[in-house]
Amino acid sequence: MAEEDVEKGNGNGNGPNDGKDEILSYRPLAANSAISAKPHIPSVSASAVLGESESMPDDHPICKGHDFDTSNSIDSITESMLHTGFQATNIGKAVEEIRRMRKWRLSDVLWKEGDDEALKDPAVRKNIRAKIFFAYTSNQISSGQREVIKYLAKHGMVDVIVTTAGGIEEDIIKCFEHTYMGDFKLSGKELRKKGINRIGNLLVPNKNYCQFEDWVAPLISRMHDEQDRRWLEQAKELTSHVKNGSVDDIELKPFAYTPSEFIARLGKEINNESSVLYWAYKNSIPVFCPALTDGSVGDMIHFHSYKRSGFVLDIARDIRRINDLSVQSYATGQIIIGGGLAKHHTCNANLMRNGADFSVFINTGQEFDGSDTGASPDEAISWGKIRITAKPVKVCADATIAFPLIVSQTFAKDVEEWKKSTEDSVCWLEDAV
């Protein structure tokens, strides 16, 4: 084959380069090139290896890691991550995205003709902030990440929490007994003989769950009593209307606790400051768990049903509640650790308002299998779960490493100043009434 054919493809339209997918266009080397003076080197090879490149803009970020001769503080180390590359850079981008969602005010958006007149006053707009949805899987509570999450709930730094069943019960269980360090390679067979459960490299003795069940069983019975009392009141009211012949005037309101109300009750009853649910209850942060029965709580409701049937959890009111919280927002941010139910339930709620304005995903899921866990933020944009104008970030990393670093540079910064700046702020105008 002639050299010119090698350089340009084979010329018949079937060559590997045939003009459609060239990565680097062939450019003849200058006559005065040092390579041109060596005729034994094929010019196509010289061009491919030493081809011209476009100059990078002067202001384009450069890759540069942390200089420990300058500082070894967590602030300077985390700040340098933005330009370190790989997932360190994504951690830096996550920090920036969370700072944006916390800083956002409706005053950042110009009022225009046709907008709500009640939102025209600049002072009103300045007082309306983004609503932050925070979701996590149960392993985060099983691990020491619980204390980081508790910090956010304690200081009222998030507005809505979504988690899985384990994220509820593990929080309460830790109020009674410790979780211990173990090893990923411990024998499951031997642990089972000893009544010890393994979560990764963490160990949870079975007695921990027994204590939780001893505590929650009487609470379920009391809540069942309260439910039946409400139903009885409704029945008496209906009977009274029937006697008076005014059945058409009565508006029945069947009562059942929602999962979020059940969870708030757990937070109230545990009354323990080490608990995430306690602080969520104290700060009126709703905690949603649509699969609340998928764990020890479900086991106890199951066992309770053998003694007494009829206890109901109303998931319909909860889906209305979380979707309303999303829709009744001028901007939303979502921070989601892990995947599965916690991720999708949060994203789906934000779909109801045509997507979240700010998003940070932290998980190790990959999208090759089509799972929602591994789905990229860009896939979420295609569904309308994230707005097309957003700049979402996904950090592919173990959240127990990444999230404490992110919190150190966002929520844990200038805490008192942030509290003061948000003291009278709202996420929806009617919330101010």
* Residues with catalytic roles: 385
DSSP sequence for 214-270? HHHHHHHHHHHHHHHHHHHHHHHHHHHHHHTT-GGG-------B-HHHHHHHHHHHH
Instruction: Identify the CA nearest to 133 among candidates 318, 296, 349.
Output: 349
Residue corresponding to tokens 């830790």: 174
DSSP 31-70: TT-TTTT-TTS-HHHHHHHH---PPPPTTS-------TTT
Q: Indicate the pairing of strand 358-363 with strand 332-337.
A: parallel
In angstroms, rounded to a whole number, what is the distance separating the alpha carbons of residues 409 and 79? 8
CA–CA separation, 278 and 269 (whole Å): 8
Rounded to whole angstroms, the Cα distance separating 127 from 338 reads 32
Is residue 359 within 8 A of residue 379, CB to CB? The reply is: no
CB atoms inside a 10 Å sphere around CB 9: 17
| CB burial readout 375-388, b (16+ within 10 A) else e | bebeebbeebbbbe
DSSP string, 89-128: HHHHHHHHHHHHHHH-BGGGS---TTS-GGG-SHHHHHTB
Dist. CA 341–CA 166, nearest whole Å: 12
**DSSP 8-state secondary structure symbol assigned to residue 184:** T
Quote the distance between the C-alpha of residue 152 and its chain's center. Answer: 13
CA angle 424/429/431 to nearest 5° reads 65
Closest CA to 170 of 213, 195, 141: 141
Question: Does residue 231 contact residue 211 with C-beta atoms inside 8 Å?
Answer: no
Q: What is the signed CA dihedral for 52, 58, 61, 64, rounded to 10 degrees?
A: 80
